[in-house]
Structure 1
Amino acid sequence: MFLNRIIYGIEFFVRLVVEIIKAVIDTAMCCLKGEVDPVVVEIMPDLKRPVSLAILSNTITLTPGTITVNMDQEKGILTVSALTPRSREDIIPLESTIKKMLE
């Protein structure tokens, strides 16, 4: 069990770096093209533990183009601001990895 969490932790770190690089390129292209259309969305991830929500919230804020505005731990809702309209999967691509790592 502990070894699995370490492996998922390594997977999480690698995927986070890849997602940050992809977000840097995407955000730069949107800004250069002038295709900025800010939106605020509420997302209800499938995570139970407060630490999982906090880590997901921080990963959203670390990736360029998105920021977590509010986190309601009781309801499990994240309010996210994004530079352009995006799908739920584009905003929280690391949810499954965090779930495997911590839940």
Structure 2
Amino acid sequence: MLLLDVLEYLFILTKALSEAWLDVVKRSISGDINPQIVDIETEINSLIGQVLLACSITLTPGTLTIGLDPRRRVLKVATIVPIKREDIVPFEPYIKKIFDRD
């Protein structure tokens, strides 16, 4: 059901925003910042889904989407510290469920 998928996405996004906000505050106080730029391949085929993923990443404190190649399904993301892909895009499966319906 689409409504349930959207609600799941919003819940996970809110959780990710809260966790990232606290992490950025802690790192700003301690000075533990080591910026990097990473390429992240996405499994989302829909252009609208890829754009929502890019916006969700940018909305999350400590990350910024600086490029999107929709044909290759690759996002270029700037982060304040080296982090795992799963920590950058925890909401990707939920966006995929919403926009890549068969």
Q: Shorter-chain-normalised TM-score: which range?
A: over 0.9
1:81 partner SS = strand
Among candidates 71, 74, 81, match of residue 77 of structure 1 = 74
User: How many angstroms apart in 2 are the aligned matches of 1:43 and 1:11?
Assistant: 22
TM-score normalised to structure 1 length = 0.94
Shift, 1:12, TM fit: 0.7
Q: Percent identity?
A: 30
2:90 partner SS = coil
Match of 1:42 in 2: 39
Counting only pairs closer than 5 Å after superposition, residues 81-92 of structure 1 correspond to structure 2 as 81-92=78-89
Shift, 1:26, TM fit: 0.6
1:64 partner SS = coil
Shift, 1:91, TM fit: 0.6
Shift, 1:14, TM fit: 1.4
**Does the CA-based 8 Å contact 1:5-1:102 persist in structure 2?**
no
RMSD: 0.7
User: Unaligned stretches of 5+ in structure 1?
Assistant: none
Counting only pairs closer than 5 Å after superposition, residues 55-70 of structure 1 correspond to structure 2 as 55-70=52-67
Question: Do residues 100 (structure 1) and 102 (structure 2) align?
Answer: no
Deviations 1:36-57 (A, max 9, x none): 0000000001111101100000
User: Unaligned stretches of 5+ in structure 2?
Assistant: none
Q: Which moved more, 1:12-21 or 1:75-84?
A: 12-21
**Displaced runs of 4 or more, over 4 A:** none
Letter in 1 for 2:79: A
| Number of residue pairs matched by the alignment | 100
